[in-house]
């Protein structure tokens, strides 16, 4: 075995092998651990499996193992004793032989245990001439003398069901409740004999059932006996993850336990999936195989989503390293980049606000943050360039507001300052490099406290001295920003959305202009019915 897998499948029956096959074909590293105790081991043949009708169960499983292996999957004999979640995701899976593997996902397909009524002789004949499913075994006992062992409220229905396969059906009431008047009439109408009294054993002659013995000593000749097992989910490994079986009831009668799951097979524990009889007590072999495929497809989609998240994170880390280099180089080549004056739009929009806590995103060399601090704001200034932050700290010290500004380095595509703010300001948050601007601004909006203001100022076009810049950077309109934010109208008030001409000096000292835009929105202290404009 390898040390780690995309998926470890616990259980090598129809559901587990079907899932293993689909996952191997999806090029996943998959390990199927088979304890070698399939539910249908006692049965001679599998029925109602299209294309494999009457195949011996062992032959079907052997073919499945070979198919999984043929696509690079691994199947080993063993018992999984426990599984535990690992820090950072995935599971540590331990086997009875002391070996252990890691898995990104865990699929449990361990089936169920048929708990038979406590009548001597039943267990020894189980799967041969002690039966429970008419669709699995009805044809094989057609026309024979059948005995139905009543142990619950559905005994009459079970007898009526098997009457389809034989005209000689006897219902032994045993521990079942007495039939109603209507049920008695139905039994009589179809010629089903009702026998009262407790069954004490099954009689066997020449390795075949010959009759059913009552406590009275009477033996009623029968050739096969039908029982209603209690179906108990085989879920010990799931218990180590905090998943316990829950009872399955019908008409107030508990006829089994199962592991609750979404139709896709996902359980309440993230990363843990189930398929087959462990979650579906009614599943036949072909149904379990189908469920294995269905769950495998959903599980693989879940892994693909995680693969995408990992790839995006790696891409962003690479982009962050590039952005860090780019912006530090940008500042390092210049002694001073900005004028030292605050942005005019900030002064216009914030002058009348009551000072509180402010967040300046992309603070550069600190002019806006210092201006805010001088007016009584407690400011968090954020930038990716360490050089810019060091210069900003020097300017703040010179202005005497060091104690009012917290300078923080963030690549806003990867991390965001903690806390809520009365003002969040983002001026000219554009970049020649990849920048998840919409995502950053959504985080900015989320950081605005009730009654606080989000102020987003951006360029609407290139400067007049360079009308056709070589580098193409999308410059969104205020409406595009507002649409991307997708803010609940009842929680926000739109206070400004416009464009304005900014007068500036070009690189050669020439007068120049540039069109900028402003979006100002305020989070309401109390929700309202609509966003005003």
Does position 527 have pLDDT exceeding 80, yes or no? Answer: no
Q: Report helix, strand or coil for 44.
A: coil
Q: What is the mean predicted confidence (pLDDT) over 254-258? A: 94
* Residues 463-520 pLDDT 10s: 888 777 656 678 889 999 999 999 999 999 999 999 988 887 877 788 888 899 999 9
In this structure, which topology does domain 117-228 adopt according to CATH?
Answer: FAD/NAD(P)-binding domain (3.50.50)
Give the whole-angstrom CA distance, residue 78 versus residue 87: 26
* Residues 157-210 pLDDT 10s: 999 999 999 999 999 999 999 999 999 999 999 999 999 999 999 999 999 999
β-pairing, 91-95 with 100-108?
Answer: antiparallel
3-state helix, strand, coil in the chain (%, to 5): 30, 30, 40
- Parse the chain into domains and list their residue ranges: 4-114+231-310, 117-228, 334-523
SS (H, E, C) 72-128: CCEEEECCEEEEEECCCCCEEEEECCCCEEEEEEEEECCCEEEECCCCCCHHHHECC
C-alpha torsion 24→30→34→39, nearest 10: -60
Q: What is the mean predicted confidence (pLDDT) over 74-89? A: 95
Does position 529 have pLDDT exceeding 70, yes or no? Answer: no
pLDDT of residue 528: 65
* Residues 125-158 pLDDT 10s: 999 999 999 999 999 999 999 999 999 999 999 9
Q: What is the mean predicted confidence (pLDDT) over 289-304? A: 98
pLDDT of residue 471: 60
β-pairing, 80-85 with 74-77?
Answer: unpaired
Does position 532 have pLDDT exceeding 60, yes or no? Answer: no
Asked if 417 contacts 447 with a C-beta cutoff of 8 angstroms, the reply is: yes
Hey, what are 253's tokens?
Answer: 């009668």
The class level of CATH for 4-114+231-310 reads alpha beta
Q: Report helix, strand or coil for 61.
A: helix
Asked if 209 contacts 202 with a C-beta cutoff of 8 angstroms, the reply is: yes
* Residues 94-112 pLDDT 10s: 999 999 999 999 999 999 9
Average per-residue pLDDT in the chain?
93
Q: Report helix, strand or coil for 281.
A: coil
pLDDT of residue 470: 57
> Do the domains spanning 4-114+231-310 and 334-523 agree at the CATH topology level?
no
Q: What is the mean predicted confidence (pLDDT) over 339-356? A: 92
**Crossing angle (nearest 10°) for helices 57-70 and 14-25:** 20
- By percentage, how much of the chain surpasses pLDDT 70? 98
pLDDT of residue 109: 98
Q: What is the mean predicted confidence (pLDDT) over 432-448? A: 91
The class level of CATH for 334-523 reads alpha beta
Q: What is the mean predicted confidence (pLDDT) over 403-423? A: 95
Asked if 493 contacts 454 with a C-beta cutoff of 8 angstroms, the reply is: no
Does position 330 have pLDDT exceeding 90, yes or no? Answer: no
β-pairing, 112-115 with 230-233?
Answer: antiparallel
pLDDT of residue 181: 97
Give the whole-angstrom CA distance, residue 16 versus residue 39: 13
Output 90 or 464, whichever has higher pLDDT.
Answer: 90
């Amino acid at each position: 075995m390898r040390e780690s897998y995309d998926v470890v499948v616990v259980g090598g029956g129809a559901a587990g092998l079907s899932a293993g096959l689909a996952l191997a074909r999806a090029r996943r590293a998959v390990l199927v651990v088979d304890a070698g105790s399939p539910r249908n081991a006692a049965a001679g043949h599998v029925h109602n499996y299209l294309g494999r009708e009457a195949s011996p169960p062992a032959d079907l499983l052997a073919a499945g193992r070979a198919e999984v292996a043929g696509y690079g999957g691994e199947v080993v004999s063993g018992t999984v004793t426990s599984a535990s979640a690992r820090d950072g995701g995935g599971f540590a899976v331990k086997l009875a032989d002391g070996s252990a593997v890691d898995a990104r996902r865990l699929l449990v397909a361990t089936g169920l245990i048929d708990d038979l009524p406590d009548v001597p002789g039943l267990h020894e004949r189980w799967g041969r001439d002690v039966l429970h499913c008419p669709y699995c075994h009805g044809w094989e006992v057609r026309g024979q003398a059948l005995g139905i062992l009543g142990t619950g409220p559905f005994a009459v229905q079970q007898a009526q069901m098997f009457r389809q396969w034989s005209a000689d059906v006897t219902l032994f009431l045993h521990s079942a409740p007495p039939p109603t008047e209507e049920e008695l009439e139905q039994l009589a109408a179809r010629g089903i004999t009702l026998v009262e009294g407790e069954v004490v054993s099954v009689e066997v002659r020449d390795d075949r059932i010959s009759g059913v013995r009552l406590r009275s000593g009477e033996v009623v000749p029968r050739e096969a006996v039908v029982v209603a097992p209690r179906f108990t989910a085989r879920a010990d490994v799931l218990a180590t993850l905090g998943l316990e079986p829950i009872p399955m009831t019908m008409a107030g009668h508990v006829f089994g336990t199962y592991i609750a799951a979404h139709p896709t097979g996902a359980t309440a524990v993230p990363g843990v999936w189930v398929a087959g009889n462990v979650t579906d007590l009614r599943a036949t072999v072909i149904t379990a195989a189908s469920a294995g495929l269905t769950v495998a497809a959903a599980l693989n989609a879940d892994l693909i989503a995680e693969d995408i998240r990992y790839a995006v994170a790696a891409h962003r880390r690479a982009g962050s390293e590039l952005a860090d280099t780019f912006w530090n180089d940008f500042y390092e080549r210049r002694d001073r980049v900005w004028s030292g004056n605050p942005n005019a739009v900030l002064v216009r929009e914030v002058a009348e606000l009551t000072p509180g806590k402010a967040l300046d995103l992309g603070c550069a060399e600190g002019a806006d943050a210092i201006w805010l601090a001088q007016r009584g704001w407690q400011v968090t200034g954020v930038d990716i360039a360490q050089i810019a932050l060091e210069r900003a700290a020097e300017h703040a010290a010179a202005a005497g507001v060091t104690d009012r500004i917290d300078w923080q380095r963030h690549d806003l595509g990867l991390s965001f300052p903690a806390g809520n703010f009365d003002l969040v300001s983002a001026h000219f948050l554009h970049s020649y490099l990849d920048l998840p601007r919409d995502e950053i601004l959504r985080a900015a909006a989320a950081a605005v406290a009730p009654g606080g203001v989000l102020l987003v100022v951006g360029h609407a076009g290139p400067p007049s001295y360079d009308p056709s810049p070589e580098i193409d950077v999308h410059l969104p309109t205020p409406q595009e920003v507002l649409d991307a934010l997708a803010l609940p109208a009842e929680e926000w008030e739109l206070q400004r959305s416009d464009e304005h001409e900014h007068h500036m000096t070009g690189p050669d000292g020439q007068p120049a202009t540039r069109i900028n835009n402003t979006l100002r929105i305020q989070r309401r202290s109390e929700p309202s019915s609509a966003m005003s404009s």
